[in-house]
């Protein structure tokens, strides 16, 4: 594990802690925080484990998954730098979901007690966290609407747009900047991997997208993709980077 990052010098400008804490509090949290580095496919925390704090993503990409019938996984959220994993919530004390790194990822763990003290002393921090959850809730509600109303082709078009907006594109070749198997894309929207293949093929024939290698997908005609889902009034429900 590499050296602990000094909060004050941390490159993550989206971090709630850094944005709202005084110098003193930053130092106090720095002493308490546990910085953990993960590689792709590492489990950051597992469904059923105990919630003893909250993880802030310092840098990286993470999928949040829940187990369904016969352990089929369902991706319920994608998270990147600056976002929070492991919801607080009195009453419950176990994670109902797992978080898995999609690439090299660094997270900062802060225990509940420290966080509670910070919340009590720094109202703006609490407010920001509240607004974060409130926004996430709204996004999830909208996404839920999509998932129940769209047909498969529409879901796939929507999720490609979603992925581009969350992860951006690679500067060199313009493909979406994340590695996901067909199976993972399928588990975001609850369809089969075969169907992803078929419709991705259709989209490529229509010159809406272009495949690069095994994982790379480049959105060639974004407007065309939008057209497929326009009637649902696609909201910009994704955090701007």
Partner DNA sequence: CGCGTCCTTGAACCGCGTCAAGCCAGGTGG
Partner DNA sequence: CCACCTGGCTTGACGCGGTTCAAGGACGCG
Q: What is the binding site for DNA (CB under 7 A)?
A: 151-153, 181-183, 190-198, 200-201, 211, 213-215
Take residue 239 and report the two structure tokens written for it.
């955090």
Among DNA, a second copy, none, what binds residue 234 when CB lies within 5 to 8 Å by partner kind? none
Q: Is 234 in the site for a second copy (CB under 8 A)?
A: no
Q: Is 57 exposed, middle or buried (0-12, 13-18, 19+ CB in 10 A)?
A: buried
Q: Which residue has the tokens 């730098």?
A: 81
Binding window for a second copy (CB under 8 A); candidates: 85-93, 160-168, 209-217, 219-227: 85-93
Provide the angle, in degrees to the nearest 10, between the axes of the packed helices 152-167 and 182-189: 110
Q: Is 202 in the site for a second copy (CB under 8 A)?
A: no
In the bound complex, what is the minimum distance in angstroms from residue 146's beta carbon to DNA? 13
Q: Which residue has the tokens 């009590």?
A: 120
The values of phi and psi at residue 64, to 5°, are -105, 120
CB 21 within 8 A of CB 32: no
Q: Is 88 in the site for a second copy (CB under 8 A)?
A: yes
Distance CA 105, CA 85 (A): 13
Among DNA, a second copy, none, what binds residue 197 when CB lies within 5 to 8 Å by partner kind? DNA
Q: Is 156 in the site for a second copy (CB under 8 A)?
A: no
In the bound complex, what is the minimum distance in angstroms from residue 227's beta carbon to DNA? 17
Report the residue number, 22 or 197, with the smaller CB distance to DNA.
197
Distance CA 169, CA 226 (A): 17
Q: Is 143 in the site for a second copy (CB under 8 A)?
A: yes
Q: Give the H or E element holding residue 136.
A: helix 123-149
Q: Taking CB under 8 A as the criterion, which residues in 47-66 touch a second copy?
A: 64, 66
Q: What is the DSSP letter of 94?
A: B
Q: Which residue has the tokens 């993503």?
A: 57
Report the residue number, 188 or 200, with the smaller CB distance to DNA.
200
In the bound complex, what is the minimum distance in angstroms from residue 13's beta carbon to DNA? 32
Report the residue number, 14 or 66, with the smaller CB distance to a second copy.
66
Among a second copy, DNA, none, what binds residue 201 when CB lies within 5 to 8 Å by partner kind? DNA
List Cβ neighbours of 168 (8 Å cut-off, separation of 6 or more).
176, 177, 241
Q: Torsion-angle region of residue 89: left (phi > 0), alpha (psi -120 to 50) or beta? A: left
- Would you tell me which residues interact with a second copy (CB under 8 A)? 64, 66-70, 72, 74, 76-77, 87-92, 96-97, 116, 119-121, 123-124, 126-127, 129-131, 133-138, 140-145, 147-149, 189-190, 231-233, 235, 237
């Amino acid at each position: 594990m590499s050296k602990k990052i000094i909060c004050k010098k941390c490159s993550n400008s989206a971090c709630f802690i850094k944005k709202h804490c005084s110098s003193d509090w930053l130092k106090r949290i720095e002493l308490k925080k546990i910085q953990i580095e993960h590689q792709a496919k590492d489990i950051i925390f597992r469904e059923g484990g105990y919630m003893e704090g909250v993880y802030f993503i310092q840098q990286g990409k993470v999928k949040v998954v829940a187990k369904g019938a016969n352990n089929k996984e369902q991706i319920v959220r994608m998270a990147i730098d600056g976002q929070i994993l492991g919801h607080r919530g009195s009453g419950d004390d176990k994670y109902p979901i797992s978080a898995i790194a999609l690439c090299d990822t660094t997270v900062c763990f802060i225990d509940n007690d420290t966080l509670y003290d910070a919340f009590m002393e720094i109202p703006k921090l609490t407010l920001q966290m509240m607004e974060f959850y409130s926004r996430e809730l709204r996004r999830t509600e909208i996404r839920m609407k999509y998932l129940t109303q769209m047909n498969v082709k529409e879901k796939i078009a929507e999720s490609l747009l979603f992925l581009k907006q969350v992860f951006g594109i690679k500067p060199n070749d313009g493909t979406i900047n994340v590695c996901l198997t067909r199976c993972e894309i399928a588990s975001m929207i609850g369809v089969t991997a075969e169907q992803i293949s078929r419709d991705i093929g259709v989209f490529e024939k229509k010159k809406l997208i272009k495949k690069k290698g095994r994982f790379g997908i480049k959105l060639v005609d974004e407007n065309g993709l939008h057209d497929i889902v326009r009637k649902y009034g696609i909201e910009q429900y994704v955090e701007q980077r």
